[in-house]
Chains A and B, each alone.
Chain A
Amino acid sequence: MSAGGGGNDVQWCFSQVKGAIDDDVAEADIISTVEFNHSGELLATGDKGGRVVIFQQETENKSQPQCRSEYNVYSTFQSHEPEFDYLKSLEIEEKINKIRWLPQKNAAQFLLSTNDKTIKLWKISERDKRPEGYNLKEEDGRYRDAATITTLRVPVFRPMDLMVEASPRRVFVNGHTYHINSISVNSDNETYLSADDLRINLWHLEITDRSFNVVDIKPANMEELTEVITAAEFHPHQCNTFVYSSSKGTIRLCDMRASALCDKHSKLFEEPEDPSNRSFFSEIISSISDVKFSHNGRYMMTRDYLSVKIWDLNMENRPVETYQVHEYLRSKLCSLYENDCIFDKFECCWNGNDSVVMTGSYNNFFRMLDRSQRRDVTLEASRESCKARQVLKPRRVCAGGKRKKDEISVDSLDFNKKILHTAWHPQENIIAVATTNNLYIFQEKVN
Chain B
Amino acid sequence: MINTMECSVDAQSLISISLRKIHNSRTQRGGIKLHKNLLVSYVLRNARQVYMNEKYAEIYRMQQYEEVMTVCNEIQELNPLDLVEDCEEQTGDCCGSATESASLCGALLPVSHQAPSAQHIQPSSACSVPLALQSEEVCKAPDPSFYHSCCAEVYPVSNCDFSPVNSMHCNKTTVLDLDTHVVTTVENGYLHQDCCASLQQCCQGAQSPAKKRKLDFEYYVSEIEEVPDFTPCKRAKFEDSSYASTEPLDTSNISNLISIFGSGFTGLVSRQAELEQALNGQFCSKQALASLGAWTRAIVAF
Closest residue of B by beta carbon distance from A93:
B30
Give me the interface of B with A, judged by CB distance under 8 Å: 1-4, 6-9, 11, 14, 17, 21, 29-31, 33-36, 38-39, 42-43, 46-47, 50, 213-214, 216-225, 228
B14 engages A90 (CB within 8 Å): no
The answer on a CB contact under 8 Å between A280 and B47 is yes
Given known pairs A284-B39, A330-B6, the reply for A278 and B217 (CB within 8 Å) is: no
**Set A198, A247, A280, A333: member contacting B2, Cβ < 8 A:** A280
Q: Which of B14, B29, B33, B39 contacts A283 (CB 8 A)?
A: B39
Which residues 237-290 of A have a CB within 8 angstroms of B?
247, 275-284, 287
| CB neighbours of A92 from chain B (8 A) | 30-31
- Determine whether A320 belongs to the interface, using a CB cutoff of 8 Å to chain B: no
CB–CB B30/A91 < 8 A: yes
* Chain B nearest Cβ from A225, distance in angstroms: 6
Q: Are A337 and B17 in contact (CB under 8 A)?
A: yes
In order of increasing CB-CB distance, the 9 nearest A-B pairs are: A223-B217, A283-B42, A93-B30, A90-B31, A222-B220, A280-B46, A197-B34, A88-B228, A284-B39
- What 1/0 flags go to A179-200 for Cβ under 8 Å of B? 1010000000000000001100
Asked if B225 contacts A88 (CB within 8 A), the reply is yes
Hey, which chain B residues are within 8 Å of A422, CB to CB?
Answer: none
Q: Which residue of A lies closest to B220 (CB)?
A: A222
Q: Which of A92, A333, A334 has the most CB of B within 10 A?
A: A334
Cβ of A223 and Cβ of B213 under 8 Å apart?
yes
* Chain A interface (Cβ < 8 Å from any Cβ of B): 88-93, 95, 116, 177-179, 181, 197-198, 222-228, 230, 247, 275-284, 287, 330-331, 333-335, 337-338, 340, 343
**A62 CB, nearest partner CB in chain B, Å:** 48
Instruction: Decide if B223 touches A222 in the complex (CB within 8 Å).
Output: yes
**Residues of B contacting A228 in the complex (Cβ-Cβ under 8 angstroms):** 34-35, 38
Enumerate chain B residues within 8 angstroms of A276, measured Cβ to Cβ.
3
A91 and B35 form a contact (CB under 8 A): no
Q: A223 near B14 (CB under 8 angstroms)?
A: no
A279 and B6 form a contact (CB under 8 A): yes
- Shortest A228–chain B CB gap in Å is 5
Closest residue of chain B to A280, judged by CB?
A: B46
Known: A92-B30, A116-B30, A226-B213. A280 touches B35 (CB 8 A): no
A223 touching B221 by the CB < 8 A rule? yes
A337 to B6, CA, bound (A): 13
Knowing A223-B213, A279-B7, the reply to whether A197 touches B35 (Cβ < 8 A) is yes
Instruction: Given A91-B29, A337-B43, check contact A280 B217 (CB 8 Å).
Output: no
A92–B224 CA distance with the chains assembled, in angstroms: 14
> Which residues of chain B come closer than 8 Å to A95, judged between CB atoms?
30
Q: What's the least CB distance linking B196 to chain A, in Å?
A: 28
What chain A residues lie within 8 Å of B9 (beta carbons)?
A: 334, 338
CB atoms of A225 and B217 under 8 A apart: yes
The chain B residue with its CB closest to the CB of A279 is B3
Q: Can you give 5 A-B contacts (C-beta < 8 A)? A: A88-B31, A93-B29, A197-B35, A198-B34, A223-B218
For B4, the chain A residues whose CB sits under 8 A away are 279-280
Q: How far is the CB of B37 from chain A (nearest CB, A)?
A: 10
Assess the A284–B42 pair: CB atoms within 8 A. Answer: yes
Q: Chain B residues with Cβ under 8 A from A179's Cβ?
A: 30-31, 33-35
Whole-angstrom CA separation of A197 from B37 in the bound complex: 12
How far apart sit A227 and B1, CA to CA, in the bound complex (Å)? 21
The CB with the most chain B CB atoms within 10 A, among A225, A275, A280, A283, is that of A280
Distance to closest chain A CB from B283 (angstroms): 17
Q: How far is B41's CA from A224's CA once the two chains are assembled, in angstroms?
A: 12
Residues of B within 8 A of A223 (CB): 213-214, 216-221
Contacts A91-B29, A330-B6, A334-B8 known; A283 to B43 CB distance under 8 Å?
yes
Contacts of A280 in B (CB 8 A): 2, 4, 7, 11, 14, 43, 46-47, 50
Distance A24 CA – B219 CA, assembled complex (angstroms): 38
Report how far A88 CA is from B224 CA in the complex, Å: 9
Q: Which of A247, A330, A331 contacts B39 (CB 8 A)?
A: A247
- In Å, the complex CA distance between A227 and B42 comes to 11
B48 to A: closest C-beta gap in Å: 10
Q: What chain A residues lie within 8 Å of B46 (beta carbons)?
A: 279-283
- Which chain B residues border A177 with CB–CB below 8 Å? 224-225
Closest CB of chain A to B38's CB: distance in Å? Answer: 6
Return A103 CB to nearest CB of chain B, in Å: 31
Q: Please indicate the chain A residues that have their CB under 8 angstroms from the CB of B8 in the complex.
A: 334-335
| Residues in chain A near residue B50, CB distance under 8 A | 280
- Closest A residue, CB atoms, query B209: A226
Q: For the complex, give the distance between the alpha carbons of A280 and B38 in Å.
A: 14
Are B228's CB and A90's CB within 8 A?
Answer: yes
**Complex: A275 Cα to B3 Cα, angstroms:** 9
CB distance from B112 to the nearest CB of A (A): 42
- From A275, which residue of chain B is reached at the shortest CB distance? B1
In the complex, residue of chain A having the shortest beta-carbon distance to the beta carbon of B44:
A280
Residues of A within 8 A of B223 (CB): 222
- Which residues of B lie under 8 Å from residue A198 when comparing CB positions? 34
Question: Are A224 and B213 in contact (CB-based, < 8 A)?
Answer: yes
Whether A284 pairs with B2 at a CB distance below 8 angstroms is no
Q: How far is the CB of A395 from chain B (nearest CB, A)?
A: 25
Query: What residues of chain A lie closer than 8 Å to B217, measured between beta carbons?
Result: 222-225
Instruction: Report B-chain residues with C-beta under 8 Å of the C-beta of A340.
Output: 21
Residue of B nearest to A222 (CB): B220
- Within the complex, what minimum Cβ distance (angstroms) separates A88 from chain B? 5
- Tell me which of B31, B33, B224 contacts A91 (CB under 8 A): B31
Q: Which of B7, B42, B221 contacts A334 (CB 8 A)?
A: B7
